[in-house]
Structures are given as C-alpha cells and as structure tokens.
Structure 1
Amino acid sequence: MGGFNSIVKLFMPKDRVFYSLFEDVAANLVEMGKVLNELVNTNDASTRKDKVNLIERLEHKNDDLTHRIFVELGQNFITPFDREDIHYLAATLDDVADYIHGSAKRLDIYKVHEINDSIRKLSELILAGVEELHHAIHELRNMKNMRVITDACVRINSLENHADDIYDRAIADLFDSESNAAELIKMREIYQALEIATDKCEDSANVIETIIIKYA
C-alpha cells in the first residue's frame, strides 16, 4: 500500500489547483469585506456608488472562481479532499460573496442616507469573519498548523453570535423607533442581508472543520 501511495503522490500536481482557487476566493472575499466597510463609513454619494460598483465586480469575479472550482471538480479524478466538501465549501463561500453584494446593493437602491452604528458594526463583523476564513483556507494547503484553522473557526463562531445579538437589538430598535412601514421593511432587509453574510461565514467554517476532522 505504501508503494501505491508513493506512486499516487508522484502523479499529483505539486500545486493543486483547488488550493489556489480557494485561496483566490478567500482573498477576493477579504477585498469585498474591506470595500463594504469603506462604503458604510463614507457619506459621499459618489464614493458610495463607486464602492457598490466595485463590490459588484468583485462578486462577478467570485462567481467566475466558483465556476472554475466546479469545472475542476468535474474534470479531476483526484481531489485533495472529499468532492462533496469541496462542492459545499465553494457554495458557502459563494453565498458569503452574494450576501455582501446583496447588502451593498440594498444600501444603494434603498437610498440609505444615514448609515447607523448597527450597519457599521455588522459590516466590521463580516470583514473579521472573511479575514478568519482567509487564515483558515491558507492553512488547508499543508495542514501543518491545525491550531490556526481551529482557532479561526472558533472565532468565526463567536463573531456570528455577536452579529446575532447586534441584529436582534437593531430590529428591536427599528420597531420601537420607525413608524414608516416602507422604511422599516427597507432597514430590516439590509440588517438581514448583513446578518446572513455572517451566518454564511460560519457555514464555511463548519465545512472547513469537517475537512480537518477527516484529514487530521
């Protein structure tokens, strides 16, 4: 069996394409998180519009990378970890991108002039979450520092809990202070999109944990 494993290793590409693609996705998500935070921290309308457009372009880039992962999955006989885990990780990371984009798009189309602390705080938590995913995904390539991966996943978990608390408070405040039904619906949708982005970070972290449990 040992000899067979050596032969298999011989034919495996040294820089396996899945690692590179996932690292590109993770870097792209960090970029999206940074731009979202720039967006919610400016009052300048044209700067905001530019940031929304940039997030849209980054989301398209993410779609392309995700598509490439699925194409590789269809063509490669050997994969670095279970095919369904690769599929699910790609899908959950793509969801993170979708909800970052969805949050930015809603801020734009609903013409939110006053961006409040809840929106800013949720955006910060999204950025922190994608940065942790970036750390964890980089460690998947050699799986030498399992602690880095597990610590990142634990932090993502606690960021998501924090986001839940902020979301619950923001919704409660909204129902207390907003009498205009249309405004209430708009703001609730924005909070929901931001909060779901943190949920999707946690979903991605859960897949990463599944992978390392199998390969530890």
Structure 2
Amino acid sequence: MSINSFFKMFTPKDKVFFPLLKEASSSLIQLAELLHECVNAPKDQREAYFLEIAKLEAKIEALKQRINIELGQNFITPFDREDIFALIKAIDYVADYLNGAANRMKIYQVAKISKSIRKLTEVNLDACKLIGEAIEELNEMRNLGNINIICEKINKLEAKSDKIFDKAVQEIFENEMDAKNIIKYKEVLSTLESAADKCKSVAYVLEAIAVKHS
C-alpha cells in the first residue's frame, strides 16, 4: 500500500470540492452541447442558444470563484489546493473560449455555418465529455490509471482539432474572395481550436494529479 493510499483511508469524504468540480464539468458539457446544437440550428434560432451559452459560462466562472473561497476556508482538501484551483481554472478557460466562439458568431453575424465549424464544435463536445468522465474518476481516487487513458483521448482530439483548423483555413484562403468573410470564419475557427487547446490543458492538470496520488 502506498503512503497516499494509507492516508486516504483516514481522510474524510470530500463534500465540498468534488460536488463543485462535478457541477462545473457538467455545466461545461451542457455548454458544449448547446454550442454544437447551435451551429446545426437555423440562423433565426441561434440567439436563444447564445443566451444560454453565456449563462453557463457565467455559472462556471462563479463556481471557480466559489472554489477559490472554499480553498481559503477549508483545512482539509481531497488533493493539493493549487491543483484544485488549476483544475477549475483550466475548465473555466475552456468555457471562456467556447462562449467566445459563440460571441464571434453573433457579433460577426455568421449566416452560413461551415462544415469545419461543426466538426470543431463536435470535437470540443467530445473532449468536454471526457473531462466529465475524468472528474468522476478523480472523485473515486481508485482507478487513477483510467485518468491517463482519458487524457490520451483528449490529447488525440486536440490533435484532430489542429488538422481540422489547418485544412479549414487553407480552404478559406483558396476559395473565399470576400475579405470580411475570411476574417469572420478564421476568428470563429481559431477560437474553437483554442478551446480544444484548453481541453488539453485540463488533461495536463488531471494527469499531474493522477501521478501525485497513484
């Protein structure tokens, strides 16, 4: 039995941080689902999606602040304080970029959603679902090896997003003649690709926690 496993036997079940982290990851999945639905919806229905996405991003931001407060008030934490905050901060960054993509679609009045945008929202949704799975594994602290497997999948999705982005940008500059449209699509695509990068950042934090407690 490792020393970490020994001390876990005497550590009270966390009733603060995991519920908050789980709520944040669940909200992130919901946000990613709404964004993917949004890009597959008619233009006149997107405004309602934009509003709900913004609300979820604000909720995750509030959860990050709540966790920060709880870290200052609770003596016992399920794992290192800096790792808890790094994890919620990384989740919040994903939400920021997904909301940012929605905002750009709204501000730039992107009428026609390209196949590449749909692909990137799907990749981000898959990555967010994996983040939720990893949080569940972290809660149990039993099969930490599964976290590494999940993180590998997230990393592969991020690599996939890079390929989608590169191909999409190339096609834009080859086929699009309107400079405004080039800017619009590149901004949306870039923000979605950055969201996938931030999912990879979440994976880095999860992997670090798993290593410390394995």
With normalisation by structure 2, the TM-score equals: 0.93
1:41 is aligned with what amino acid?
N
1:17-56 matches, cutoff 5 A: 17-45=16-44, 47-56=45-54
How many angstroms apart in 2 are the aligned matches of 1:208 and 1:168? 28
1:210 is aligned with what amino acid?
A
Q: Deviations over 1:98-133 (max 9, x none)?
A: 011001111111111110100000000000000000
How many angstroms apart in 2 are the aligned matches of 1:34 and 1:85? 27
SS in 1 for 2:140: coil
1:33-182 matches, cutoff 5 A: 33-45=32-44, 47-182=45-180
Cα–Cα, structure 1 residues 165 and 7, in superposed 2: closer, same or farther, change >3 Å?
A: closer
**What fraction of aligned residue pairs are identical, expressed as a percent?**
41
Cα–Cα, structure 1 residues 38 and 7, in superposed 2: closer, same or farther, change >3 Å?
A: closer
SS in 2 for 1:141: helix
Q: Deviations over 1:33-67 (max 9, x none)?
A: 1100110001241x211001110111111111111
2:78 is aligned with what amino acid?
P
How many angstroms apart in 1 are the aligned matches of 2:79 and 2:136? 15
Aligned to 1:188: 186
Cα–Cα, structure 1 residues 175 and 44, in superposed 2: closer, same or farther, change >3 Å?
A: closer
Q: Gaps spanning 5+ residues in structure 2: where?
A: none
How many angstroms apart in 2 are the aligned matches of 1:44 and 1:85? 41
Measured after TM superposition, the shift of residue 148 of structure 1 is 2.6
1:117 is aligned with what amino acid?
K
1:197 is aligned with what amino acid?
A
Root-mean-square deviation over aligned CA pairs: 1.8
Measured after TM superposition, the shift of residue 152 of structure 1 is 1.0
User: Between Structure 1 and Structure 2, how many residues are aligned?
Assistant: 210
In 2, are the aligned partners of 1:135 and 1:148 still within 8 Å (CA)? Answer: no
Q: Deviations over 1:158-191 (max 9, x none)?
A: 0000000000001111111122222211211101
Cα–Cα, structure 1 residues 69 and 173, in superposed 2: closer, same or farther, change >3 Å?
A: same
Aligned to 2:197: 199
SS in 1 for 2:141: coil
2:132 is aligned with what amino acid?
H
How many angstroms apart in 2 are the aligned matches of 1:7 and 1:119? 47
In 2, are the aligned partners of 1:157 and 1:202 still within 8 Å (CA)? Answer: yes
